[in-house]
Structure 1
Amino acid sequence: MALEENELKEGIQRWRFALVLGAFALLLFVVAARLVMLHTVEQPFLFEQGEKRTVRSEVQPATRGMIVDRHGEPLAVSTPVTTLWVNPQQIDSSELSLVAPLLELNGAELKRRVDRAQRQGRSFYYVKRQVEPEIATQVLNKKIAGLYGDTDFRRYYPAAEVTSHTLGLVNIDGKGQEGLELAFDDYLSGKAGSRQVVKDLYGNVIKQLGVKAVAEPGNDLQLTIDLRLQYIAYRELKAVVQSHHATAGSAVMLDAKTGEVLALVSQPSYNPNNRADLKPGNMRNRAVADLVEPGSTMKPFTVAAAIESGRYSPDTIVDTSPGWIRVKRKAIRDHRNYGELDLTGIITKSSNVGVSKLAQDLGPDSMWQFFDHAGLGRPGTLGFPGEAVGSMPYPEQMDDLRLSTVSYGYGLSVSPLQLAESYTSFTDGCREHVSLLMSQVGQQPCERVMSEKTARQILDMLGTVVGPKGTGKRAAVDGYLVGGKTGTAHKVGRGGYEDSEYTAVFAGIAPISDPELVLVVIVDEPQGKEYYGGEVAAPVFARVMEQALRLRQVIPDAPVENEWLQVAGGAR
């Protein structure tokens, strides 16, 4: 009986062992089968799902092209920065208080906004853009899940407000919004690339799998601007606008022989690197976008047209007595009765009566044709955003009164840049087309306006304006023979010309023995007792031109009159 019981127990134990062994064998088979399924049938699906969770396609931003001056000095560059963002569905917003002080953000406000984005179901929210790399590294080292950083670029302008109107600016996405940044946005913009990387939970790149497309940087842009001259012109213009409490101002300097823009400044200005207090009105590039009535700076063109007609010479006498002339219902006056003046005297004394008589004799057709060749009333050629189109009445629009006013700079309008361009015609009789890019220099031939002989005669006349008897004596430059023309124009208001609002202008050339530079200075609405072009704009011309000529190492051409130098040379 006991033997049978033992045999029964042994049978049960063997059966249990076999059952357990079979169960384990079945389980092992199931596991093995599953592994085979995972590595064969389901392997592509699992690989795809794994890549979706760890492999990312990352955009590689392209560097925007540099803008440099004629000597290669950087005017606009792109610097690497980091954009910080979060996935509201992944992040614990309470942890943002750890990084808010580093980013100079309000922690409570940041948490509130991220929580709101989470409730809205959003999976992307900017924490802060264009963060300095050092600070971004400190933030990302906090290892906050759901907080990520992407490489980006920020535009920086080394000369700040000095070149702001010319260069313009870009928005936070690196797209041009003003100035050359807008005009040449496509040229400066690069082509973004992309790469595949493996990232961990915190957004850190673990491995780079490959590059889909290589980022192509934008093209560099070299300007004709000389940053040194730009600084000088900006400093002096800002000083005169502040000292005379003027509304605005502008200055344009050109190479007299090529038409290259060497300086282009406006006031008021702005700092494109700090836009916290940016005023839209300060962004206006007045040197190319504003139109002014140039006033007496047009008189040299009227006199040149008279000489070119063949009926006049610099010695021709014009009777300006009694100091006024009636044209239709308007009395055109000089400051006083200058009596008989030759053409040089008309320019020296800035006689409105004298040029009015010349214009009446020449007629509207001759006047219009000459002014048109000088570039007055034509569209701008720079292709600058907002570049103004000047206005010049057609011959059929000019009655006797309009013809007279045009002769001394009323009834037409030009931008400061157009005025400077027209004055290049006095260097050798050929108007140079302005260019702001080095690649454009010399692409267009100059346009003949007058003969070289006439241009030389006008230059000599302009030199008398800066002399002791001229209206622009404060434009004189020590050591150099310079010439120019003052202009003072009443501003137009709602009821016509305002009696107490003026635009002060000076347009000049230096040195007149062999012209190198053309400079136009315009000051809008100067306040106080001084408002004439010879009082306000001419001194700016003198200070800027003196520094510019010495900087460009132009040899002085004025005769030496210092007695001690004569004595040093020996007894007479």
Structure 2
Amino acid sequence: MSRLSEARYPWRFGLVCFAVVAMAGAIGWRIVDLHIFDREFLQAHGDARSVRHVTIPAHRGLITDRNGEPLAVSTQLMTLWGNPQELMGEKARWGELASTLGVDGQELAKRIEANGKRSFMYLRRGLSPEQGVEVLKLNLSGVYARDEFRRFYPAGEVAAHVVGFTNVDEQGQEGVELAFDEWLRGVPGKRQVLKDRRGKLIKDVQVVSNARRGRTLALSIDLRIQYLAHRALRQALIDFDAKAGSMVLVDVHTGEILAMANQPTYNPNNRSNLDPSAMRNRSLVDVFEPGSTVKPFTVALGLNSGKYLPETVVDTRPGYMSVGRKTVRDVHNYGVLDITGVIKKSSNIGVVRIALDLGGENLYAMLQQVGMGQDTGLGFPGERVGNLPNFRVWKPVETAVMSYGYGLSVTAAQLAHAYAVLANEGKTVPLSLLRLDQKPEAVGVMDPAVANQVLSMLRTVVDEDGGTGSRARIPGYQVGGKTGTVHKVAAGGGYEEKKYRSLFAGVAPISKPRIAGVVVIDEPRPKFGEYYGGFVAAPVFGQVVGGALRLMNVTPDNLPAPEAKPEKLANKAPATAGGRI
């Protein structure tokens, strides 16, 4: 029967043979197509499922003080992340994972369940490599690690306001870290690796591009002097129950800021309980009326005009005078004073008479030339330029109040810059927070002879009896400066009756100036009612600048004369009875 069927339907056998041959040909063609024609396409898709490019983190640049002491460094840490979809299968071991991570078990469980449909969540960031390895040893599916860097600040709160800080991703947020973020930021690299479908590393293939670390930044700050300023300011706030304080020291020849300290301050390494008000760099952000610290520039205007000499007399009797509707007063009736006496006694009437004689426009020009109300060029985030009003028509009362430091506002850095002009023979150089390799070009804004005359007058304020700044004296050095005590401006206008700022601005040493500085103490509330700048701020200046001059090996210019040596005794044996000793 079968032979009959084969004879009757011979095409069936041929059809089966043809089908077998056709399938073999199709399979062969597909093999050739996959291995030759579609090879690049398939290889690319295969690599996309297994080849990964892992980011190589880059070190952020080092920040140092002028002597190379580190102020901000980056340390390598480990960040653990998880794939919640995979972690859902390890629910029985969530407690073990939480314990090793050092986190609350219930909180971790809630986070994993809330992100159960996602493929990424942070488990914990900023672990030490040793802590990270302990977690990875658990060998849990869905737990992975990657290297990161964290910023550390060795100087802590001492230089916090200048250096600033970064966020968890090492992006600058405040201070120099923010101002020079692009300079400090490194360029991450790439590494090619093979991973399985669960993301576990199979093979490290090659480095595609190396990470390039950020560039180093050397600041002008001297950490030793910065520490002196930090410590003295903190003690002043304690002694006088003050609200805040700031201090700026400037190298008068280069414009480099050697110290910029503020109180209260904060620890950039631990910001868990950070008070936002403590983050303000008050030396550059807070503006205030400079009060009597402006008087030397009013006197400089008079000397520069040629109408006044140091020995020119000014009649300040009877201790008060009317200017428009305002009455200007001195603390005492000083009588007739020469120009030096006007500075030494801090006579409001004396400087008002000079300013009214020479005009408000000229006074404005003098203050503008020494940098008040002008941009310092530091580029510091949040820095303010203050206010130096220029009236279209100058009324006598406007000229009068500006002559003794009211009606304008400055920062501590601007005031220190202005005093640096006096110390640098009337020449101004830009302020700098970066260490300079060469001295910048100076621009003359005042007659050098006038600047030297004003310095001599400032010396009488500190070094002579009867001066208001005697508490700023530094043993071995001649010091010049000016005290100031100003009422604080009230929020609704006018002035606070019992709230003051105590100021001292000075230069040392007078014979060959090297440092100009300013101390500002905000709202001193001493037990015995002493809130004047000469009592509160002047000692801080003397203590810090004295230490700075010694650290900088500046030659003393005020050493006492050596005592006369006794004459040598004649080299003779003393006469005794019988000629014997």
User: TM-score over 0.5 for the alignment?
Assistant: yes
Q: Which residue of 1 aligns with 2:35?
A: 40
Name the CA shift for 1:498/1:432 in 2 (closer, same or farther; >3 Å). Answer: same
Name the CA shift for 1:397/1:212 in 2 (closer, same or farther; >3 Å). Answer: farther
1:326 aligns with 2:322: yes
1:185 aligns with 2:160: no
Q: Which residue of 1 aligns with 2:506?
A: 508
Structure 1 residue 114: Cα displacement? 0.6
Gaps in structure 1 of 5+ consecutive residues: 1-25
Q: Which residue of 2 aligns with 1:11?
A: none
Any conservation in 1 of the 2:256–2:436 contact (CA below 8 Å)?
Answer: no
Structure 1 residue 332: Cα displacement? 0.7
Structure 1 residue 220: Cα displacement? 1.2
Structure 1 residue 441: Cα displacement? 5.8
Q: Which residue of 1 aligns with 2:58?
A: 62
Match of 1:160 among 156, 159, 178: 156
Structure 1 residue 49: Cα displacement? 5.8
Structure 1 residue 140: Cα displacement? 1.1
Name the CA shift for 1:45/1:129 in 2 (closer, same or farther; >3 Å). Answer: same
Structure 1 residue 292: Cα displacement? 0.9
Give CA deviations for 1:345-388 in whole Å, capped at 9, x if unaligned.
Answer: 00000000100001000101211111111111112210111111
Match of 1:353 among 349, 356, 376: 349
Q: Which residue of 2 aligns with 1:111?
A: 109
Worse-superposed segment, 240-249 or 143-152 = 240-249
Alignment of 1:345-494 (within 5 A): 345-396=341-392, 398-427=394-423, 428-439=425-436, 442-443=439-440, 445-466=441-462, 467-493=464-490, 494=492
- What is the DSSP-based 3-state SS (H/G/I as helix, E as strand, rest coil) of the residue aligned with 2:456? helix
Q: Distance in 2 between matches of 1:342 and 1:239?
A: 38
Worse-superposed segment, 265-274 or 45-54 = 45-54
Name the CA shift for 1:38/1:242 in 2 (closer, same or farther; >3 Å). Answer: farther
Q: Which residue of 1 aligns with 2:131?
A: 135
- What is the DSSP-based 3-state SS (H/G/I as helix, E as strand, rest coil) of the residue aligned with 1:89? helix
Any conservation in 2 of the 1:485–1:507 contact (CA below 8 Å)?
Answer: yes
- What is the DSSP-based 3-state SS (H/G/I as helix, E as strand, rest coil) of the residue aligned with 1:353? helix
1:336 aligns with 2:332: yes
Amino acid aligned to 1:566:
E
Name the CA shift for 1:397/1:536 in 2 (closer, same or farther; >3 Å). Answer: farther
Question: Sequence identity, in percent?
Answer: 47
Name the CA shift for 1:439/1:554 in 2 (closer, same or farther; >3 Å). Answer: closer
Give CA deviations for 1:449-490 in whole Å, capped at 9, x if unaligned.
Answer: 211111111111000000221000000011111110001111
Name the CA shift for 1:413/1:53 in 2 (closer, same or farther; >3 Å). Answer: same
- What is the DSSP-based 3-state SS (H/G/I as helix, E as strand, rest coil) of the residue aligned with 1:134? helix
Amino acid aligned to 2:99:
P
TM-score if structure 2 supplies the norm length? 0.88
Name the CA shift for 1:570/1:496 in 2 (closer, same or farther; >3 Å). Answer: farther
TM-score if structure 1 supplies the norm length? 0.89
Amino acid aligned to 1:372:
Q
Q: Which residue of 1 aligns with 2:251?
A: 255
Q: Distance in 2 between matches of 1:146 and 1:263?
A: 50
Structure 1 residue 202: Cα displacement? 7.6
Amino acid aligned to 1:535:
F
Give CA deviations for 1:122-160 in whole Å, capped at 9, x if unaligned.
Answer: 110001111111111111121111100011110111101
Q: Which residue of 2 aligns with 1:145?
A: 141
Name the CA shift for 1:219/1:107 in 2 (closer, same or farther; >3 Å). Answer: same
Any conservation in 2 of the 1:154–1:172 contact (CA below 8 Å)?
Answer: yes
Q: Distance in 2 between matches of 1:375 and 1:93?
A: 67
Alignment of 1:14-33 (within 5 A): none
Structure 1 residue 105: Cα displacement? 0.6
Q: Distance in 1 between matches of 2:91 and 2:63?
A: 42
Name the CA shift for 1:199/1:568 in 2 (closer, same or farther; >3 Å). Answer: farther
- What is the DSSP-based 3-state SS (H/G/I as helix, E as strand, rest coil) of the residue aligned with 1:527? coil
Q: Distance in 2 between matches of 1:154 and 1:402?
A: 53
Q: Distance in 1 between matches of 2:95 and 2:248?
A: 52
Structure 1 residue 95: Cα displacement? 2.2
1:546 aligns with 2:543: no
Q: Once superposed, what is the RMSD of the aligned Cα atoms?
A: 2.3
Gaps in structure 2 of 5+ consecutive residues: 1-20, 569-581
Any conservation in 2 of the 1:93–1:115 contact (CA below 8 Å)?
Answer: no
Match of 2:515 among 494, 517, 524: 517
Q: Which residue of 1 aligns with 2:557?
A: 557
Any conservation in 2 of the 1:147–1:202 contact (CA below 8 Å)?
Answer: no
Amino acid aligned to 1:471:
T
Structure 1 residue 569: Cα displacement? 6.5
Any conservation in 2 of the 1:373–1:447 contact (CA below 8 Å)?
Answer: no
